[in-house]
Chains A and B, each alone.
Chain A
Amino acid sequence: RKEVEQDPGPFNVPEGATVAFNCTYSNSASQSFFWYRQDCRKEPKLLMSVYSSGNEDGRFTAQLNRASQYISLLIRDSKLSDSATYLCVVTGSGGSNYKLTFGKGTLLTVNP
């Protein structure tokens, strides 16, 4: 099982659509969880942290289920500017919590 596995994509959606990304991770001792976005040939940028209680930032909602080792990201009312690759990211456990493990990413294209 891969350390972090994401929907392979790509996703093509019209503007205004709601889109959901799913991610699973293998290390049950992982401590922190994030969604990053990466534009083509750019660096990854933090989109939001993910907590068991769920968190929302505008049109973006992230959820963590530790029992099933599952992370999700929901984007409502998609905009053209949301087109990017979305990366599920998990930190190591214990003393290796500085180490980020990235999924391969899911490409989203929002069409006019």
Chain B
Amino acid sequence: NAGVMQNPRHLVRRRGQEARLRCSPMKGHSHVYWYRQLPEEGLKFMVYLQKENIIDESGMPKERFSAEFPKEGPSILRIQQVVRGDSAAYFCASSPNQFSGNTIYFGEGSWLTVV
């Protein structure tokens, strides 16, 4: 049973380009969460999605960032017109239902570097 799969694991983008990060949740999980970890900082909640629905995007920057979790396929975190401050590790996590305990599993992360 594969865990949470994220790709790409490492991504380098020039300022102004777009970054697309993908997350396939664990089998049987329909709830996905994205977290961002800036250098020397703790992980920060970004967004919570269920299939075809954004439940909570309170942690998403107001501009340039968007997330989706379509009926088919992985969840995608999209960052448009990247800036150096977007350089961070982006972790996806999934759970079988709305997380309220310890049934949440993190992927290995996608490291974005903006040059």
Residue of A nearest to B108 (CB): A43
Cβ-based interface call for A69 (8 A): no
Closest chain-B Cβ to A11's Cβ sits at a distance in Å of 17
B-chain residues with CB within 8 Å of residue A44 when the two chains form the complex? 43, 91, 106
Whether the Cβ atoms of A100 and B108 lie closer than 8 Å is: no
- Over the window 15-48 of chain B, the binary record of Cβ atoms lying under 8 Å from chain A Cβ atoms (1 yes, 0 no) is 0000000000000000101010000111111001
- Over the window 99-111 of chain B, the binary record of Cβ atoms lying under 8 Å from chain A Cβ atoms (1 yes, 0 no) is 1111010111101
Which residue of B42, B56, B99 is within 8 Å of A87 (Cβ)? B42
- Over the window 26-55 of chain A, the binary record of Cβ atoms lying under 8 Å from chain B Cβ atoms (1 yes, 0 no) is 000001101000000111111001000000
Q: With A91-B100, A98-B33 given, is the CB distance from A105 to B45 under 8 Å?
A: no
Q: With A4-B42, A44-B43 given, is the CB distance from A98 to B99 under 8 Å?
A: yes
A-chain residues with CB within 8 Å of residue B91 when the two chains form the complex? 43-44
Q: Interface size (A, Cβ < 8 Å)?
A: 23
Give the bracket for the number of chain B residues in contact with chain A: 20 to 34
Cβ-based interface call for A70 (8 A): no
CA distance A103 to B107 in the complex (A): 19
Residue of B nearest to A32 (CB): B101
Cβ-based interface call for B66 (8 A): no
Whether the Cβ atoms of A46 and B98 lie closer than 8 Å is: no
- Among B67-81, those with CB < 8 Å from A are none
Which residue of B41, B43, B98, B111 is within 8 Å of A41 (Cβ)? B111
A residues at B contact (CB < 8 Å)? 4, 31-32, 34, 41-46, 49, 87, 91, 96-105
List, sorted by A's number, 21 A–B pairs whose CB atoms are closer than 8 Å.
Answer: A34-B102, A41-B89, A42-B108, A43-B91, A43-B106, A44-B43, A49-B102, A87-B42, A96-B56, A98-B31, A98-B33, A98-B100, A99-B48, A100-B35, A101-B45, A102-B42, A102-B43, A103-B42, A104-B41, A104-B42, A105-B42
